[in-house]
């Protein structure tokens, strides 16, 4: 019966594919009636007007062109200026609070203006010019490059939003205005359970306006006999001039994780990037808690420590210059990485192969075609979101030299996604598979299949709603006893961690309906949600003969897009049949990291992970 319920929920979740989107409402329909009435009453006096502007903002009561400019995707606004010379570049930095790149005349209230102009330090204009722009004065206008640069600016951890505007000054020359709006960069981090158990620190994503990031956090556990004091410090330089090379160094000394590392990386940031690569080296120790899938009553605890070196490089080749082929690339890459274990569980020629000392050399070739559509209210709460559309296919081969001999590796990966015709929503699919091979026998193999879907925005009263559907299948082949996958948290039933729901194969379905509220309070917007998570996990027996586990819940998420704080989430959950829980009900509050889209870029050749 539960298996039929599993299939029924999947059908209901995807039924929106056959529905009709509610027509785009007029501006008058968008206006929140209750906020408008409050505004009319409070604007009659100066004091109450300032109180209103301090606490409330009608999110949708903006210029009519805002929604149009964000969602117009197929039109590249820079095409009309193709080939013209950039005479002058002006960087216009908006207030961190109150303003908008789509309405520069908007101003915040007195408190917001004070914070923006007296407390916050804007990103230095020199850093934007030298490190974040792909073009300079004297360059010809490349429409694709300019559009990609606008997306890269929005993708930065220090900017909330960005726009690039072009104004003609003659038949051959144009002036370029870059509008940027910072995000509040400082995040306090901490918790307090008493003077014998507390955590404190902060992260600054924009140190002195240089775009650098610094994290410093310490933890004290007075009664912990293993380690009382913990500390982590990580410093990141995201842009080294116009090379788009990022550098990072970190020192972590915590109870269950000790790591020292240095890393330099240049990804295939845009379709115009020709060269990419990375270099990383370090020493890492993790305190692991493991079970064997056939013996859930015994937990193995052991430290795993290894030194590592990881280097890779890649080259992208254009596949054509015509309009339809501008975003298509052929990418070749190679990678060398080595692991030397100093602490580990006992290993042999046919056990605990994940802890072998090894040196690996991988090669990959792939095809990538990617472009982006601007949209709103998907994973964000009002900021511009660049939704990837396109496809990617790659093949990876390599050799691994281990202390127990040499083995080969082969893997393939394919993904495709985009908006469905007739405004039926967005659909993304991914399939990847890989395995080591020794003497003709595969081992440590993995198969992953993922399908993600969300509907268009649909109006319900004064709010807007999206339905999300996520389906994932994972299977491990010829894995060792201490290698398994889990059905809880981000890989299945959200909100719980359980070492009882483990196995070598898993199928899980997540359904979520999100209602975005029309207004904001102190800059925070809310999103109400209800969800259902269903999943199967098994070891050696057939997946469909295993028990169906489930979790249901509702809650609210709060986020201020002008701050770098995590999304605040309050959730009430019900788990009717998860073993070893003291109660099937759970009430929780947490800081959730915003979800990210799966892109279609190709990076370092890698072994398909089991997770």
Q: What is the full DSSP assignment across 109-175?
A: -HHHHHIIIII--PPPHHHHHHHT-S--TTPBP-HHHHHHHHHHHHHSTTEEEEEEEEEE-SSSEEE
In a domain, 472, yes or no: yes
DSSP lists the bridge partners of residue 42 as none
326 and 441 share a domain?
yes
Work out the pLDDT band at 61, boundaries 50, 70, 90.
very low
Measure CA of the first residue to CA of the last residue in the chain; give whole Å. Answer: 29
Classify 115 in phi/psi space as left (phi over 0), alpha (psi -120 to 50) or beta. Answer: alpha
Instruction: Give the single-character DSSP code of 6.
Output: H
Work out the pLDDT band at 24, boundaries 50, 70, 90.
very low
In a domain, 21, yes or no: no
173: its two tokens:
């020359």
> How many domains, in total, are found in the chain?
2
198/112: higher pLDDT: 198
411 and 551 share a domain?
yes
Percent of the chain with pLDDT over 70: 84
* CA-wise closest residue to 96 among 43, 31, 161, 178: 161
Q: What pLDDT is attached to residue 10?
A: 39
Task: Name the range with the highest mean pLDDT among 9-13, 114-118, 199-203, 361-365.
Answer: 361-365
Q: What pLDDT is attached to residue 541?
A: 81
121 and 261 share a domain?
no
Q: Is 503 helix (H, G, I), strand (E, B) or coil?
A: strand
Using the predicted structure, report yes or no on whether residue 18 has a pLDDT greater than 60. Answer: no
* CA-wise closest residue to 98 among 441, 531, 578, 522: 522
**Residue 157 lies in domain:** 65-182
Q: How far apart are CA 507 and CA 501, in angstroms?
A: 12
150 and 293 share a domain?
no
433 and 316 share a domain?
yes
Domain final position from 122, 156, 182: 182
270 and 139 share a domain?
no
Q: How far apart are CA 494 and CA 534, in angstroms?
A: 10
Work out the pLDDT band at 413, boundaries 50, 70, 90.
very high
Domain final position from 156, 182, 208: 182
Q: What pLDDT is attached to residue 63?
A: 41
Using the predicted structure, report yes or no on whether residue 76 has a pLDDT greater than 90. Answer: no
In a domain, 51, yes or no: no
Q: How far apart are CA 109 and CA 53, in angstroms?
A: 5
| Segment 180-214, tens digit of pLDDT | 988 888 888 888 888 899 999 999 989 988 999 99
In a domain, 55, yes or no: no
282 and 164 share a domain?
no
CATH code of the domain in which 391 resides: 2.40.160
In a domain, 206, yes or no: no
Domain final position from 153, 182, 211: 182
Q: Which helix (H) or strand (E) covers residue 219, if one does?
A: strand 212-221
In a domain, 59, yes or no: no
154 and 301 share a domain?
no
Q: What pLDDT is attached to residue 42?
A: 65
| Segment 142-185, tens digit of pLDDT | 988 998 899 889 888 888 889 999 999 998 999 999 999 888 88
Q: What pLDDT is attached to residue 155?
A: 85
Q: How far apart are CA 369 and CA 392, in angstroms?
A: 6
Q: What pLDDT is attached to residue 103?
A: 66
Using the predicted structure, report yes or no on whether residue 89 has a pLDDT greater than 70. Answer: yes
Q: What pLDDT is attached to residue 53?
A: 53
In a domain, 241, yes or no: no
Task: State the pTM of this model.
Answer: 0.81
120 and 267 share a domain?
no
In a domain, 564, yes or no: yes
Q: How far apart are CA 346 and CA 556, in angstroms?
A: 46
345: its two tokens:
């569980």
CA 272 from centre of chain? 22
324 and 406 share a domain?
yes
């Amino acid at each position: 019966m539960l298996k039929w319920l599993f299939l029924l929920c999947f059908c209901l979740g995807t039924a929106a594919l056959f529905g009709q989107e509610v027509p785009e409402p007029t501006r008058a329909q968008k206006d929140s009636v209750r906020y408008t009435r409050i505004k009319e009453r409070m604007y009659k006096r100066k004091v109450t007007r300032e109180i209103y502007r301090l606490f409330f903002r009608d999110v949708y009561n903006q210029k009519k062109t805002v929604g149009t400019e964000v969602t117009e995707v197929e039109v590249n606004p820079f095409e009309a200026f193709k080939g013209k010379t950039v005479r002058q570049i002006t960087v216009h930095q908006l207030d961190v609070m109150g303003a908008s790149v789509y309405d520069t005349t908007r101003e915040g209230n007195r408190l917001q203006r004070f914070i923006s102009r007296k407390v916050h330090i804007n990103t230095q204009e020199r850093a934007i010019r030298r490190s974040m722009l792909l073009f300079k004065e004297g360059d010809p206008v490349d429409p694709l490059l300019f559009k990609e640069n606008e997306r890269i600016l929005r993708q930065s951890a220090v900017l909330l939003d960005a726009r690039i505007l072009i104004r003609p000054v003659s038949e051959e020359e144009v002036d370029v205005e870059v509008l940027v709006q910072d995000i509040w960069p400082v995040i306090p981090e901490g918790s307090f359970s008493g003077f014998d158990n507390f955590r404190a620190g902060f992260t600054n994503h924009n140190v002195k306006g240089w775009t650098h990031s610094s994290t410093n956090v310490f933890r004290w556990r007075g009664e912990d006999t293993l380690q009382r004091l913990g500390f982590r410090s990580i410093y990141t330089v995201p842009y080294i001039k116009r090379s788009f090379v990022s550098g990072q160094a970190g020192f972590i000394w915590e109870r269950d994780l000790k790591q020292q590392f240095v890393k330099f990386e240049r990804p295939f940031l845009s379709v115009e990037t020709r060269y990419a690569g990375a270099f990383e080296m370090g020493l890492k120790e993790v305190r692991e808690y493991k079970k064997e899938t056939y013996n859930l009553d015994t937990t193995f605890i052991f430290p795993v420590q290894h030194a590592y070196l990881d280097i890779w490089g890649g080259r992208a080749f254009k596949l054509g210059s015509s309009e339809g082929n501008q975003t298509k690339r052929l990418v070749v890459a190679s990678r060398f990485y080595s692991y030397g274990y100093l602490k580990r569980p006992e290993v042999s020629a046919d056990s605990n192969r994940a802890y072998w000392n090894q040196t690996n050399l991988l090669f990959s070739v792939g095809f990538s075609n990617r472009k982006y559509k601007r949209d709103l209210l998907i994973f964000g709460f009002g900021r511009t979101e660049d939704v990837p559309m396109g496809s990617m296919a790659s093949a990876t081969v390599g050799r691994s030299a281990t202390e127990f001999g040499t083995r080969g590796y082969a893997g393939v990966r394919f993904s495709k996604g985009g908006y469905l015709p007739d405004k039926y929503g967005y659909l993304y699919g991914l399939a990847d598979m890989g395995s080591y091979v020794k003497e003709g026998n595969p081992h440590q193999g993995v198969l992953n299949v993922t399908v993600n879907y969300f509907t268009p925005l649909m109006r319900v009263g004064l709010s807007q709603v999206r339905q999300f559907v996520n389906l994932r299948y994972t299977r491990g082949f010829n894995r060792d006893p201490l290698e398994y996958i889990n059905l809880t948290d981000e890989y299945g039933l959200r909100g719980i961690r359980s070492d009882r729901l483990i196995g070598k194969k898993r199928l899980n379905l997540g359904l979520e309906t999100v209602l975005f509220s029309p207004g904001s309070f102190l800059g925070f917007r809310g999103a109400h949600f209800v969800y259902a998570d269903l999943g199967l996990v098994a070891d050696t027996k057939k997946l469909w003969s295993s028990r169906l586990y489930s979790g249901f819940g509702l809650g609210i998420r709060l986020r201020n897009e002008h701050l770098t704080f995590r999304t605040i989430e309050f959730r009430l959950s019900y788990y009717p049949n998860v073993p070893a829980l003291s109660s099937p009900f759970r009430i929780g509050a947490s800081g959730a990291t915003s979800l990210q889209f799966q892109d279609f870029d190709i990076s370092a050749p890698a072994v398909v992970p089991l997770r």
